[in-house]
Amino acid sequence: MSLFVNTNVSALNAQRQLFDVSNSLSTSFERLSSGFRINGAADDAAGLQITDRMTTQIQGLNQAVRNANDAISLTQTAEGALDETTTALQRIRQLAVQSQNGVNSASDRSALNKEVTALKTEISRIASDSEFNGKALLDGSFGADFLVGANAGQNIKVSLSGQSYGASG
Tens of pLDDT, residues 37-91: 777 766 777 888 888 888 888 998 999 999 999 999 999 999 999 999 999 999 9
123-166 pLDDT tens trace: 999 999 999 999 999 888 888 899 888 778 888 888 887 655 55
Residue 96: what pLDDT?
93
The CB density around residue 78, as the number of other CB atoms within 10 Å, is 19
pTM score of the predicted model: 0.66
Looking at domain 69-168, its CATH architecture is Up-down Bundle (1.20)
- Whether residue 5 has pLDDT greater than 50: yes
Cα(46)–Cα(131) distance, integer angstroms: 49
Residue 169: what pLDDT?
44
- Residue ranges per domain, the chain? 69-168
Q: CB of 126 within 8 A of CB of 138?
A: yes
